[in-house]
Amino acid sequence: MKQTALLKHLRRYGCYLKREGASHSLWCNPISGVTEAVPRHTEIKNRLAKKICQNLGIPDIK
């Protein structure tokens, strides 16, 4: 999956970029207060994208 598609999905469910790291971006869900690291690669494996969504408490990307 493309990173841009995942980030668009995160924004759609209200998540926002908290800060940038060296190789990861930290995204936060303001409803639950959970912060999750998203790697800055052009391709992200589907299993990892699903895990990121689960940890942030949003529906899985289809």
Give the predicted TM-score (pTM) of the model: 0.92
pLDDT at 60: 94
User: 30, 14 in Cβ contact below 8 A?
Assistant: yes
pLDDT at 45: 96
> Which token pair is 37?
């690291």
pLDDT at 35: 96
Is residue 62 scored above 90 in pLDDT? Answer: no
Do β-strands 35-39 and 16-20 pair in parallel, antiparallel, or remain unpaired?
A: unpaired
Q: For 2-61, what is each residue's pLDDT tens digit? A: 999 999 999 999 999 999 999 999 999 999 999 999 999 999 999 999 999 999 999 998
